[in-house]
Homo-oligomer: A and B are copies of this chain.
Amino acid sequence: MCGIVGYIGPKNAQNILVEGLRKLEYRGYDSAGIAVIQQGKLAVERTKGPLAALEEKLVTHPLTGMIGMGHTRWATHGKPSDENSHPHMDAEHQFAVVHNGIIENYIELKEELLAKGYSFTSETDTEVIAQLLKDMYDGDLVSTVRKVIQRLEGAYALAITSEREPDKLVAVRLASPLIIGLGKEENFIASDIPAILEHTRDVYVLEDGEMAILTPDTVELSTLDGKTIQKEILHVTWDAVTAEKGGYEHFMLKEIHEQPKAIRDTLAGRIKEGLIDLTQDLSFTEADLKKFDRVHFIACGTAYHAGLIGKSVIERLVRIPVEVDVASEYRYRDPIITPSTLVVVVSQSGETADTLAALRAAKKAGAKTLGITNVVGSSVSREADEVLMTWAGPEIAVASTKAYTSQLVAIYLLGLYMARILGTRTEEVLKKSTEALIQLSEQVEGQLIEAKTDAIQSLAKEIAKHEDLFFIGRGLDYAVVMEGSLKLKEISYIHSEAYAAGELKHGTLALIEEGIPVIALATQHAVIEKTISNIIEVKARGAHVLGFGLEGDRELKKSVDRVITIPDTLPLFTPILSVIPLQLLAYYTSVARGINVDKPRNLAKSVTVE
C-alpha cells in the first residue's frame, strides 16, 4: 500500500509531488522520497519518517526540474530506513523506480545481478528493478521496461524515469492500482485519485497488464507486450474526502472491499508447487518445530479472535496443544513457559502495548516467539524471533476488517507449513488445502457484490432498532461470532454479546425475551444440528433469529427467521468467509444509527497504552 505520484509538464515538479504525497498520507507510510530530472541528471531526496521529514530535507536541498516521481512507503521488504526508501536507482543513478506491491522472485533476480557484479544499497525488492533496467537497457526505455517486466513475478505498480531519456515517464500496472491524470500540457501518474485531484479530474484507470508512456502533451496506452490500446477518459466527480476513500462512504467499507486483495497479497510468494513454503519468512527448521510441545497465541481485541482460530488450526493440523490468551492477562497469570513453548503474538500495528509487553515477557522466560503483524519495522516485527507478515496494507478504520482476515490467512499458512514440515498431513491433503486457500479471495469477492450487501443492509436496518442482541455459534463459528459481536459493539454501540451456542442455557438464556435478535452462525458441518437445537431454544423464548449458514444448507433455513448464505470451503477456512457478512452487518448497522463508523467514540486504532 505504498503511494505513487508522477509529474511531467511545464511546472516545477517538486511541489506538485510533495502535495500529491500529502494527499496519500491516509494510506500510511514510514518514509518518503522524490526523484526529479534536474538539468538532465537524476536527483533524488528520500528519508525515513513522516512526509514532514522529507520536506525539511528539501528546504536545504531543493530539487528543480519538470519531470519527477514521488513515493510514500509502507514497508514490505526491508525495514523503514533512508536506504530502503523510494525512489530506487541503479548503481550509476541513471534509472529511477517507484514501486507499490511485491516482486516475489526478487531474491533470485538479486542473486543473478550480484553474480554479475552489481552491488545493492537497500534490502528492497524494488532496487532489483532499477538495476535490471540498467542491465537490460537497449537504448529504448519503453522497450527495456517491457523486457524487464517479463522477468518480474508478483503484483505491482511502477513508475519509471531515466536521465537517458529525460522526456518521458513510464507507468506499469500489474495488480496494484495506478491511474493517469490528464492535464493541459501536463500529465500525472498516481496510485490513487486524491493525489492529483487539484490538478485534473480527467483520468485513465489502468487495468492489470497495461502501461502508459507520458510526455507533457501525450499519453500513450499499451499492453505490456506493446499493443496500443484505447481507453475512455473517466471524469471524476468525487470531492477530495470521497476520493480518499476510493469512492466508498467510509474507510471501513473500503477496507472490507479490499479484503480479496489483502488475502491474495498475504498468500503471494508463499505458495510453491501447490504447497505452502515459508522459507523466505521463517527460519524454523524441522528440528525446531519438532521441539515445540505447546503453543501460546497472545493478542488483544480482534487479533485475539484470530488467535482463537489459531488454536483450532494448530491443534487440528499438527496436534500440538495451544492456549490462547488476552495479552493483558497473560503476563500476570504466571504462565508456564519453557524453551519448548512457541509464543505467537498477533498485532496489526505491531505496537499494541499489552501484546508487546507479553511478547517481551515470553522471550525473557525463554520461549521462541513469532510475530504476526501488518507493519514492517514495527516493534513486534523487530522483537519477535520470527515474523510472518500480513500484507493487508494500512488500515485506517478503527474497526479492523482486512487486518483480521489477513491474520487468519497468516495463521493458515503457519499451520499448513508446520503440518508439511512435521509430516502430520499428506501432500495430497496439503495441496487440496492450498487450493482452497487460494480460492478464498474470489469467494470473498463474491460476497461483496451488491445483491449480497443489499440483503445485509436490510437486516442491519432491523438490527439498528435494538439496544441488545446475542450472537451464538459453536466451535470455529463461536470464535467468528465473537469477532462479529465485537465489530457490532465497537461501531453501533449496541450491547451485543457472543455465546457458545450450547452455553446459553446455563444462565444467559434468562435474557432472551420477545423480539430480541439472536444472530446464529452455523457453518461447521459437524455441529450444525446441535446449533439448530440451540436456535430452537431461543426461538421458543421469542427471539428473532437471523441465521448465517452455508449455501445449500436446508436445515438451518427451516429453523430461523431470516437466512444469509456463505460459500462453502474447508471447515477450517470458513471463518474468512463467514466473518464478511458480519463485518457488513456491523457496518450497515452503524450507518443506520448515524454513527461515525471510522472513528467510534472512546476508541483508538492502535492501543499503545496498557
Contacts and interface: CB of A to CB of B under 8 A. Distances in A.
B467 A506 contact: no
Contacts of A334: 315-316
B507 A302 contact: yes
Contacts of A321: 294, 321, 323, 336
A489 B475 contact: no
A530 B610 contact: yes
Interface string A573-610: 00000000000000000000000000011111001011
A502 interface: yes
Given A497-B495, A502-B329, A533-B610, A510 B475 contact: no
A527 B323 contact: no
Contact of A467 (B320, B467, B501, B600): B467
Contact of A474 (B328, B491, B600): B328
A180 interface: no
B490 A510 contact: yes
Contact of A602 (B327, B354, B490, B512): B512
A497 B497 contact: yes
A500 B328 contact: yes
A489 B511 contact: yes
A276 to B, nearest CB: 21
Contact of A510 (B304, B467, B603): B603
A28 B508 CA distance: 25
A213 B238 CA distance: 98
A300 interface: yes
B527 A332 contact: yes
Given A333-B312, A486-B508, A602 B301 contact: no
Interface in A459-483: 467-468, 474-475, 478
A151 interface: no
A399 B304 CA distance: 31
A469 to B, nearest CB: 10
Contacts of A609: 505
Nearest to A321: B336
A493 interface: yes
B533 A507 contact: no
The residue in A319, A502, A527 that gathers the most chain B C-beta atoms within 10 A of its C-beta is A502
Interface centre among A489, A507, A607 (most CB of B within 10 A): A507
Given A321-B294, A610-B530, A332 B506 contact: no
A559 to B, nearest CB: 16
Interface string A297-331: 00011101000000010011001110100111100
A199 interface: no
**Pairs A-B, 4 closest by C-beta atoms:** A328-B502, A301-B506, A509-B602, A300-B506
